[in-house]
């Protein structure tokens, strides 16, 4: 009889634990998550406020496409590399803009690089072409690998992925040597720091070179934060510390107050037993959201980096039960769901719609 | 007590067969009694008879399948008096009758089998098998230890009570094997039958059915299940006795050959097993795809070259604790345990004396090893051309590289509309057609799903290795390069002075996105320095 005690007891504990988990997952967080309207269905409140129906939401971008991006991509597809050179040159010393434009060209070059080869043949030492080349190789590597978990990547694909990443590393070095005051080649290399697992020392060197060239580059901060996250090469402590440094440097309109929100979001999604409904209401996160709201308000209206911040604010305001303020953000970003935090869900459009519509319904109810 | 248990367990095994058969008969009686309508009853009878057939066959299989020999070369006393003398002496020391037949095999194993009589209860004629790799890889005292161990299993010195268990284990294992063999054979017959029918159907323009081994093998496997279940039970229950038996046999070996020699033999065997597997794969059968075998006697005898050249590597393997997956039914305790237990025996002061290789016990070993090949190789293998080791390596690798390059030649010819030569391929590279050529080669699923620039990254290494093969072949055929046999490492491709680095760079240049075939062209035979 004695022998039975241990197995029976462990069975009881296992059942109790399972029941507890089931209760929690049914009771706590999802009770907050609005009743899913089902894909393609929109809540009454959301319709009333004039939000875009889910089937018309753009899942690929966080804001309307810039027609200039589309034009230059069409031009290079037709082989006109001069258009690319001009487009990059026009960004001048606005490094954040140059980084964005290089990214657009790289996405095109990762698919077909005939124009880039021609450009580099004509101007072997062009810093812009070198930058696009480095960035495109990283895109290419990920296109070969696919976005699945490591275990889903085939052996041959994994080999090609690493080969291309190593070529990208050489390409980054080349672009950095030619780049002068442009931080972009260093920021591009941060993707390698994540993928190839650079030691912290090397990452700090990259960061020092970046910061020296542009201390307020939002894209640099968000990418470096990814490196310092526990899921990549850092820890929760390191990511919070990095985000705090960024926030301490922020001036109104710099948008660097986004970083603490990002770090909290990464932490919350990495913790299974954290209740977001409680977590985001902590005073320091409420204060961080307030700071970020002020920061965004001070940014120039056509700054293309503002929407990504608003997507984040909408998410945080929702969990903080600040529905009117959340709806205000949704009004300014609606139509586009291709942004973090939505893209951490398996169906970003669904996640976006659920939360937007929940907020809209509360606002409409309160107004009645 | 163990003897009674062993007897009951073995009897239970036979009883199980009778019971299962009885159930089938009982079912038929019940059907008859229940007055099932005619046609249905007939069907049920047929089913029960079909099920009973493999069972009855299985009961017959319970008579231990006879060891027919025939898997090696019989060594007669007349031709191998010294070996026979050795074995007789060992058997005497082990306290058991000498075997009636000695067989040389190609396995890293020695064994003594017995065609026991009366359901495995009485001893019968014995056959001792000795693996040629043991003769090549052990020294003489180590061989004595190994053979002493095998004979020790039949010794009546201190294991009298376990005799029945041992024989029972043996019978049960053989029976399960026989069941599986029957199932496989039945499934094989069924497959052949279906394929034949499908060929006919296809010939008449009808759609062929998927070939399926189906019910034939299945009914055997189903019937085998209770027996296998019982056998596992049996083996588990008698495991302790089985392991004790192994350890007892080790002690007998130690008494005969010395404690330290026995331990060294135990440590050597797994190493020898690994080395032999590697040798067979990478040396002895390297040339079979090219129609080549090493000279007579070397297929098994060549192992000695490898053992001599890789002494250090093997010593490292021996020193490391042998890691083995141990089956819960394996009667052999882990080698590490066996060596440790031997170490607990009192020192017999015999140590590890200098000794000649075990093969010295054979008279005219080269001829014996050649005759072993005739005895164990298939007719097909015996028909292969025999060449010396150096030729074997060079000619096989040339054949394989040449064969591997064939699809690329074909693709080149198709795309360029000319001959599929290296020259034509280089010309295609210069004209930007290289990716079209590689695209025609068979692809992995991963490579096939890539598009655009990603597809080129999958193609690049294939183009590179194809260009390398064709370049190497050109150099080989101009007698500027060759493959060299090495026993301590894999075969080495010998290239002209300084070519190794140059070739890497030249290939990189040729497969880059802005290709340059110039460096590779300068390395081709007409311009290469004569050796």
Domains of chain A: which residue ranges?
67-213
CB contact under 8 A, B452 and A117: no
Instruction: Supply the mean pLDDT for chain A.
Output: 89
Neighbours of A211 (CB within 10 A): 17
pLDDT for residue B316? 84
Residue B159 has a pLDDT of 42
Q: What is the mean pLDDT of residues B105-133?
A: 79
Predicted pLDDT at B421: 94
Q: How, if at all, do strands B292-293 and B385-386 pair?
A: parallel
Q: Is A304 exposed, middle or buried (0-12, 13-18, 19+ CB in 10 A)?
A: middle
Rounded to whole angstroms, the Cα distance separating B52 from B22 reads 10
What pLDDT score does B205 carry?
A: 41
Confidence of residue B373 (pLDDT cuts 50, 70, 90): very high
| A318 vs A281: CA distance, rounded Å | 10
Q: What is the pLDDT of residue B327?
A: 58
- Measure the CA–CA gap between B182 and B219, rounded to whole angstroms: 11
Residue B530 has pLDDT above 60, yes or no: no
Tell me if A186 sits within 8 A of A209, measured CB to CB. Answer: yes
| Poorest-pLDDT segment among A186-200, A349-363, B167-181, B338-352 | B167-181
User: ∠ CA(B299), CA(B304), CA(B305), 5° rounding?
Assistant: 90
The confidence score (pLDDT) of residue A3 equals 46
Residue B445: its chain A contacts at CB < 8 A? 154
Residues 96-155 of A with CB under 8 A from B: 109-113, 117, 121, 140, 143-144, 154
**Rounded Cα distance, B258 and B346, in Å:** 11
B452 touches chain A (CB under 8 A): yes
More confident residue, B329 or B277: B277
Neighbours of A286 (CB within 10 A): 15
Digit-coded pLDDT (tens) for A73-118:
999 999 999 999 999 999 999 999 999 999 999 999 999 999 999 9
Q: Give yes or no for B454 touching A (CB within 8 A).
A: yes
More confident residue, A120 or B159: A120
Residue B503 has pLDDT above 70, yes or no: yes
For residue B336, pLDDT over 80 is answered with yes
Q: Is residue A93 within 8 Å of residue A86, measured between CB atoms?
A: no
Number of CB pairs, chain A paired with chain B, less than 8 A apart: 34
Distance CA A141, CA A158 (A): 9
pLDDT in tens, A28-47: 333 344 444 445 589 999 99
**The pLDDT of residue B24 is above 60:** yes
Return the pLDDT at B407: 96
B249 Cα distance to chain centroid: 26
Compute the distance between CA of residue B494 and CA of residue B506 in angstroms, rounded to an integer. Answer: 17
Instruction: Check CB contact of B446 with chain A, cutoff 8 Å.
Output: yes
The DSSP-derived string for A234-288 is: S-HHHHHHHHHHHHHH--TTS-TTHHHHHHHHHHHHH-TT--HHHHTTSHHHHHH
- Beta strand extents in B413-494 (DSSP E only): 482-484, 492-494
**Per-residue confidence (pLDDT) for residue A202, from 0 to 100:** 96
Is the pLDDT higher at B461 or at B51?
A: B461
Rounded to two decimals, what is the model's pTM? 0.70
The closest CB to that of A111, out of B445, B453, B513, belongs to B453
Q: Give the residue carrying structure tokens 């323009």.
A: B205
Q: How would you write B83-115 as a 3-class SS string? A: HHHHHHHHHHHHCCCCCCEEEEECCCCEEEEEC
The H or E element that residue B127 is part of is: strand B126-131
* The predicted structure's pLDDT at residue B189: 64
Residue B330: C-alpha distances to residues B52, B243, B333, B433 (Å):
31, 8, 8, 60
CA–CA distance, A253 with A260 (Å, rounded to integer): 16
Phi and psi for B141 in degrees, rounded to 5? -60, -35
Q: Would you state the pLDDT for residue A198?
A: 94
N- to C-terminal Cα separation, chain A:
66
Residue B422 confidence (pLDDT) above 70: yes
For A112, the closest of B453, B457, B461 (CB atoms) is: B453
B450 contacts A144? CB cut-off 8 A: yes
Write down the mean pLDDT value for chain B: 82
Of A235-249, B123-137, B152-166, B411-425, the least confident: B152-166
Cβ B452–A163 below 8 Å, yes or no? no
Q: Can you list the positions of beta strands (E) in B395-471?
A: none
Q: What average pLDDT does this structure show over B79-98?
A: 94
* B151, B91 Cβ separation under 8 angstroms: yes
Task: Identify which of A109, A117, A143 has the shortest CB distance to residue B454.
Answer: A143
Nearest to B457 among A109, A121, A140 (CB): A140
CA atoms lying within 13 Å on the CB side of residue A262: 28
- Cβ–Cβ under 8 Å, residues B356 and B348: no
Question: Average pLDDT of B353-362?
Answer: 92
Report the Cα B247 to chain-centroid distance in Å. 27
pLDDT at residue B368 in the model: 96
Q: Which residues of B touch A144 (CB under 8 A)?
A: 450, 454, 457-458
Confidence of residue B157 (pLDDT cuts 50, 70, 90): very low
- Per-residue pLDDT, averaged over B449-468, amounts to 93
Instruction: Say yes or no to pLDDT of B163 above 70.
Output: no
Neighboring chain A residues of B457 at a CB cutoff of 8 Å: 140, 144, 160, 163-164
Q: Give the C-alpha separation, B474 to A302, whole Å.
A: 64
Is the four-CA dihedral A80, A81, A87, A90 of positive or negative sign? negative
Three-state secondary-structure class, residue B332: coil
The pLDDT assigned to B174 comes to: 62
Q: What is the pLDDT of residue A60?
A: 93
> Is residue B491 within 8 Å of residue B472, measured between CB atoms?
no
What is the spatial distance between Cα B443 and Cα B459, in angstroms, rounded to a whole number?
A: 9
Per-residue pLDDT, B172: 65
Amino acid A207: pLDDT? 98
Check A163 against B513: CB less than 8 A apart: no
Q: What is the mean pLDDT of residues B342-361?
A: 89
Find, among B134, B103, B94, the residue nearest to B266 by Cα: B134
Per mean pLDDT, which range of B273-282, B385-394, B522-531 is the poorest? B522-531
Confidence of residue A321 (pLDDT cuts 50, 70, 90): very high
Contacts of A274 (CB under 8 A, 6+ apart): A267, A268
DSSP-derived letter for residue B280 is I
The verdict on A200 touching B (C-beta cutoff 8 Å) is no
Q: Which of A315, A306, A310 has the alpha carbon at shortest distance from A341?
A: A315
For residue B470, give the 3-state DSSP assignment.
helix
Contact state of A160 with B458 under an 8 Å Cβ cutoff: yes
- Nearest CA-CA distance, residue A247 and chain B, Å: 39
Q: What is the pLDDT of residue B178?
A: 64
pLDDT digits (tens, 9 = 90+) for B184-229: 666 666 656 555 555 544 444 444 444 444 555 566 666 667 777 8
On chain B, the residues whose CB falls within 8 A of the CB of A110 are 453
What does DSSP assign to residue B122?
B
pLDDT-based confidence at residue A24 (cuts at 50, 70, 90): very low
- Ranges A2-6, A44-48, B317-321, B459-463: which has the least confidence: A2-6
B469-502 residue pLDDT tens: 999 999 999 999 999 999 998 899 999 999 999 9
Give the distance from residue B335's alpha carbon to the nearest chain A alpha carbon, in angstroms: 34
Chain B hits for A109, Cβ within 8 Å: 453
Answer with the residue of higher pLDDT: A302 or B236: A302
Per DSSP, B77 falls in state T
d(CA B432, CA B436): 8
Lowest-pLDDT choice from A137-151, B284-298, B477-491: A137-151
User: Residues 6 or more apart from A100 whose CB is under 8 A from it?
Assistant: A91, A219, A304
A residues 327-366 closer than 8 Å to B (CB): none
Q: How far, in Å, CA of B276 to CA of B303, rounded?
A: 7
**ipTM for the whole predicted complex goes beyond 0.85:** no
Q: Which of B246-255, B279-288, B299-308 has the lowest mean pLDDT?
A: B246-255
What is the per-residue pLDDT across B221-261, written as a single tens digit (0 to 9) for each? Answer: 666 677 778 777 777 777 777 777 788 889 999 999 999 99
Which residue, among B438, B454, B462, B464, would best test binding to A if mutated, counting the most A CBs under 10 Å from its CB? Answer: B454
Q: How confident is the model at residue B445 (pLDDT cuts 50, 70, 90)?
A: confident
């Amino acid at each position: 009889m004695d022998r039975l005690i241990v197995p029976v007891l462990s069975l009881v504990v296992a059942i109790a634990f399972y029941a507890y988990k089931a209760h929690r997952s049914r009771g706590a967080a999802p009770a907050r998550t609005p009743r899913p309207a089902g894909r393609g269905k929109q809540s009454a409140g959301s319709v009333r406020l004039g939000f875009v129906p889910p089937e018309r939401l753009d899942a690929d971008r966080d804001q309307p496409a810039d027609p200039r991006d589309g034009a230059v991509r069409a031009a290079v597809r037709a082989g006109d590399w001069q258009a690319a050179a001009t487009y990059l040159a026009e960004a001048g010393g606005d490094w954040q803009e140059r980084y964005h434009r290089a990214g657009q060209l790289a996405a095109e070059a990762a698919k077909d690089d005939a124009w880039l080869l021609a450009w580099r043949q004509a101007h072997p030492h062009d810093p812009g072409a070198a930058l696009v080349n480095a960035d495109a190789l990283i895109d290419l590597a990920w296109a070969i690998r696919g976005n699945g978990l490591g275990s889903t990547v085939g052996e041959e694909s994994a080999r090609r992925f690493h080969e291309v990443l190593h070529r990208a590393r050489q390409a980054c070095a080349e672009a950095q040597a030619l780049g002068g005051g442009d931080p972009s080649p260093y920021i591009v290399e941060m993707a390698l720091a994540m993928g190839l697992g650079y030691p912290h020392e090397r990452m700090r060197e990259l960061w020092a070179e970046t910061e020296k060239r542009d201390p307020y580059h939002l894209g640099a901060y968000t990418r470096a934060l990814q490196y310092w996250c526990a899921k990549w090469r850092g820890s929760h402590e390191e990511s919070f510390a990095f985000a705090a440094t960024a926030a301490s440097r922020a001036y109104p309109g710099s948008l660097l107050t986004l970083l603490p929100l990002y770090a909290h979001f990464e932490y919350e999604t990495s913790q299974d037993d954290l209740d977001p409904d409680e977590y985001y209401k902590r005073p320091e996160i409420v204060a961080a959201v307030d700071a970020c709201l002020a920061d965004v308000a001070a940014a120039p209206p056509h700054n293309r980096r503002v929407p990504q911040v608003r997507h984040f604010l909408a998410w945080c305001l929702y969990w903080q039960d600040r529905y009117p303020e959340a709806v205000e953000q949704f009004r300014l970003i609606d139509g586009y769901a291709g942004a973090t935090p939505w893209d951490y869900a398996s169906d970003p459009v669904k996640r976006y719609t659920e939360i937007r519509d929940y907020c809209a319904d509360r606002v409409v109810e309160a107004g009645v | 007590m163990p003897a009674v248990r062993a007897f009951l367990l073995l009897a239970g095994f036979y009883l199980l067969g009778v019971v299962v058969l009885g159930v089938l008969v009982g079912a038929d009686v019940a059907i008859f009694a229940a007055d099932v309508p005619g046609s249905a009853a007939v069907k049920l009878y047929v089913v029960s008879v079909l099920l009973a057939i493999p069972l009855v066959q299985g009961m017959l299989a319970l008579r231990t399948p006879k060891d027919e020999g025939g898997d090696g070369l019989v060594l007669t006393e007349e031709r191998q008096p010294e070996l026979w003398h050795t074995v007789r002496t060992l058997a005497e020391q082990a306290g058991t009758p000498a075997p009636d037949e000695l067989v040389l095999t190609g396995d890293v194993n020695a064994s003594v089998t017995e065609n026991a009589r009366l359901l495995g209860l009485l001893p019968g004629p014995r056959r001792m098998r000795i693996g040629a790799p043991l003769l090549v890889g052990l020294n003489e005292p180590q061989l004595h230890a190994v053979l002493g161990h095998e004979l020790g299993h039949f010794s009546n010195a201190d294991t009298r009570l376990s005799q029945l268990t041992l024989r029972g284990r043996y019978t049960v294992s053989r029976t399960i094997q026989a069941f599986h063999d029957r199932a496989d054979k039945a499934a094989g017959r069924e497959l052949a039958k279906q394929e034949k029918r499908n060929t006919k159907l296809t010939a008449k323009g009808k759609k062929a059915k998927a070939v399926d081994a189906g019910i034939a093998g299945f009914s055997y496997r189903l019937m085998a299940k209770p027996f296998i279940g019982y056998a596992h039970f049996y083996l588990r229950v008698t495991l302790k006795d089985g392991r004790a038996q192994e350890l007892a046999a080790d002690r007998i070996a130690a008494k005969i050959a010395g404690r330290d020699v026995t331990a060294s033999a135990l440590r050597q065997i797994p190493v020898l097993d690994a080395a032999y597997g590697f040798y067979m794969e990478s040396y002895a059968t390297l040339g079979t795809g090219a129609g080549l075998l090493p000279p007579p006697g070397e297929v098994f005898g060549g192992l000695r070259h490898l053992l001599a050249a890789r002494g250090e590597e093997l010593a490292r393997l021996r020193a490391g604790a042998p890691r083995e997956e141990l089956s819960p039914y394996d009667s052999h305790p882990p080698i590490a345990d066996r060596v440790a237990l031997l170490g607990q025996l009192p020192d017999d002061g015999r140590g590890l004396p200098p000794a000649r290789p075990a093969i010295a016990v054979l008279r005219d070993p080269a001829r014996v090893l050649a005759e072993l090949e005739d005895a164990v190789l298939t007719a097909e293998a015996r028909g292969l051309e025999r060449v010396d080791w150096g030729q074997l390596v060079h000619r096989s690798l040339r054949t394989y590289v040449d064969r591997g390059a064939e699809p690329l030649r074909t693709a080149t010819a198709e795309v360029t509309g000319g001959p599929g030569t290296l020259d034509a391929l280089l010309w295609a590279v210069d004209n930007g057609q290289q990716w079209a050529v590689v695209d025609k080669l068979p692809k992995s699923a991963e490579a096939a799903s890539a598009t655009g620039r990603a597809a080129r990254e999958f193609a690049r290494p294939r183009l590179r290795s194809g260009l390398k093969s064709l370049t190497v072949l050109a150099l080989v055929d101009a007698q500027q390069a060759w493959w060299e046999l090495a026993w301590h490492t894999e075969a080495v491709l010998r290239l002209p002075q300084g070519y190794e680095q140059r070739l890497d760079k030249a290939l990189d240049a040729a497969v880059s996105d802005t290709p340059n075939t110039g460096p590779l062209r300068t390395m081709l035979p007409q311009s290469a320095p004569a050796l």
